[in-house]
Structure 1
């Protein structure tokens, strides 16, 4: 497949481009500002980058245009795509359908600390020999890249070449049958695209969701804290009963989210009511 990514130099879309390239797709992309560090990472992967959103990019004739949330109506290339009736999708939707399907997704959400926690979790799983895939909103020093596919199946004790189901029994990571190797993703609550105003993280369908904290943020798209809490509850609704929520017990906003309904095991960290000194 040839995909052309609009807004490719954002940390999320750049990571998506790297995953698509690793999966064997032809990847091209454009942005209003082709800038490092993502531009350097993408060029090193052999991904062609185009400056700006010229309508002439329609002539590339990709199989699919993948649209970043930086793109809005009035963007000349987007208008040309719409006028011509060409196929397009959002970045989170493409990721869900082409990378995350069948994986044990571990999604890290919260107003603060997502990049750090996602990087730490991916490294812990790497050190445990699970060869996780990941997409981080930055470039973790231990890995040197912001995204990778990782193992398709959880490596068995016999070695990474032997496919096996996700750990069960004594594992602290709950897993259902036929769940593939782990994929750790930074789960952003910002909206998906101009045509999909849901938070990005509702597309990821995690089996394990880490809810670090929840405060009012993104005032450009959320009216108040309650509106963000609603999006977090949408995320909670996607976690299966065999999955797990790892929740900061010190966050009243997260407790309100769970009070709306929770169908999964909950593991809390911190002490409820404890306030930092």
Structure 2
């Protein structure tokens, strides 16, 4: 697997740069001195903003977009093997990685990375955590799967060791991450075009929990049925939250 050297910026091309996560990662790399360009099938407010920031964005995906000066291509999960850019990358043997691998490599460079997972509620929770981290003065880098008004977009470039990002389970992309703190909000039957069934999804969340190092922490919702199957036997600290005092943290005096 290709490993980026963040001390040696190169030309990175994002195939599907208009995606909410892809656009944020493109901005993070650009802030670190990388040459960034990319394409998408259609123009959008996101591609317009990227272009306004000086990133070369091509509307329409074709083989001619993949030029010899490109050192690495990042593919979103939406890019299929019959995509002309994908075909050109394979034919020319250009190094390539997926969006989730890039996110994981970026996350690995921070001392305090937080990965927010769950089949529902990731964007809302990541936004709430982002607001808390900023209010606490931690100056975090943020990668959010939606637009957060307080940062004027979906990404914030900070100057600290704090990083927070959504960790999506689809295609097991969250298994490419390196969470110091991992959060599991809920586990439901979703993305059944990829997962076989709910048990298959639960196995993936267990693997995600096992990524957390011994000096890290898993924060998990006690309302997940048999949550102990996900959190049991981990080397890291496990923090429970739920609706009552059977958890470590619970709400009170809600009006």
What is the alpha-carbon distance in structure 2 between the residues aligned to residue 188 and residue 254 of structure 1?
19
What is the alpha-carbon distance in structure 2 between the residues aligned to residue 48 and residue 70 of structure 1?
20
Instruction: Show the 5 A alignment for 1:14-33.
Output: 14-33=23-42
Residues 86-105 of structure 1 show CA distances to partners (whole Å, capped at 9, x for unaligned) of 11111222232245423311
2:167 paired with 1:183: no
Residues 57-82 of structure 1 show CA distances to partners (whole Å, capped at 9, x for unaligned) of 12252111111111111111111110
Instruction: Show the 5 A alignment for 1:1-277.
Output: 1-36=10-45, 38-59=46-67, 61-98=69-106, 100-151=108-159, 153=160, 181-191=161-171, 199-252=172-225, 254-259=227-232, 261-271=233-243
Alignment check: 8 A CA contact 2:143 2:165 kept: yes
What is the alpha-carbon distance in structure 2 between the residues aligned to residue 246 and residue 50 of structure 1?
41
Alignment check: 8 A CA contact 1:107 1:208 kept: yes
Q: What TM-score do you get using the length of structure 1 for normalisation?
A: 0.81
Alignment check: 8 A CA contact 1:135 1:184 kept: yes
The offset of 1:85, in angstroms, is 1.0
Q: How many residues matched?
A: 237
Q: Which aligned segments of 4 or more residues in structure 1 are displaced greater than 6 angstroms?
A: none
Q: What TM-score do you get using the length of structure 2 for normalisation?
A: 0.87
Alignment check: 8 A CA contact 1:100 1:183 kept: no
Alignment check: 8 A CA contact 2:107 2:163 kept: no
Of the two structures, which has the highest relative contact order with CA contacts closer than 8 Å and spacing of 6 or more? 1
What is the alpha-carbon distance in structure 2 between the residues aligned to residue 105 and residue 270 of structure 1?
23
Alignment check: 8 A CA contact 1:105 1:204 kept: no
What is the alpha-carbon distance in structure 2 between the residues aligned to residue 254 and residue 185 of structure 1?
23
Per the alignment, residue 196 of structure 1 pairs with: none
What is the alpha-carbon distance in structure 2 between the residues aligned to residue 108 and residue 187 of structure 1?
5
The offset of 1:254, in angstroms, is 3.3
Structure 1 unpaired stretches of 5+: 154-180, 192-198
The offset of 1:53, in angstroms, is 1.6
The offset of 1:145, in angstroms, is 2.0
The RMSD of aligned alpha carbons is 1.8
What is the alpha-carbon distance in structure 2 between the residues aligned to residue 33 and residue 255 of structure 1?
44
What is the alpha-carbon distance in structure 2 between the residues aligned to residue 64 and residue 53 of structure 1?
16
